[in-house]
Amino acid sequence: HASAVRRTSSLHHFAGPLLKQHATFDVTRKEIERGVTTCERVTERFLGAIEEGKRLNAFLSVFPEKALEQARAVDKKIAAGSAGRLAGMVVALKDVLCVKGALATCGSKILENFVSLFDATAVQRLLGEDAVLIGKTNMDEFAMGSSTENSAFGVVRNPVDETKVPGGSRGGSCVAVAAGMSHPALGTDTGGSIRQPASFCGVVGLKPTYGRVSRYGLIALSSSFDQIGPFANSVADAALVLQVIAGHDDRDSTSASVPV
């Protein structure tokens, strides 16, 4: 624990103001429950952080109107005592995960104008527990790379040191978490694409066991390897997200029929 605290302090020292904004979900949820803030205000803060950190090029698309609409609906649920486990959580998604009505470019000009017609199962499960989706993150084109320098929409910069790469291919999702632009973010890991950027940017990254999370709605690099998993600023946040998105899915025959 002590070494983790020292590492966090060093990240703040090198990174300047961007990294000072990040917060874990459990802290945010307690603040909402005490009436210190609201889901709408939290979402506005993250939208401001995305705008402030545009030079990092972490996002390919942002959903300001939709996210604020979702946040207001969540605030009503919280007031009524009917909110889900992720109420108050703001999530970014790697741009290989389908969100109905949103672009899914995979970091490629080939899919520059492709709009998904449905939600991925992992996305459905996040929404079902009242998470707010804030946008889609930058990545190596079709997830082929280890540095997030190979996106058709420009390189992603590491917020710890902007002269360095953030790792890849899911650098945008990792940077969103490290730079305080979302609570967690979802990525996918085929051969290290969650674990490597998490290491490069100093956040928690988890590749679940194959079959633990449904791949329905994932535009895969290699279907027999890819797994959807979280980036987060704490192990607890990563565990909570995994608990929500894990479990069998009839639409993915490779998903495991094992209790969560």
SS3 156: coil
* DSSP conformational letter for 246: B
CA dist., res. 183 & res. 225, Å (int): 26
Kindly list the distances between the CA atom of residue 98 and the CA atoms of 112, 145, 194, 220, 249, in Å, as whole numbers in the listed order: 14, 21, 18, 11, 16
Determine what percent of the chain falls in helix, strand and coil, rounding each to the nearest 5: 40, 15, 45
Q: Which residues are catalytic?
A: 94, 169, 193
SS3 204: strand
- Spell out the alpha helix ranges (H) of 82-139: 121-128
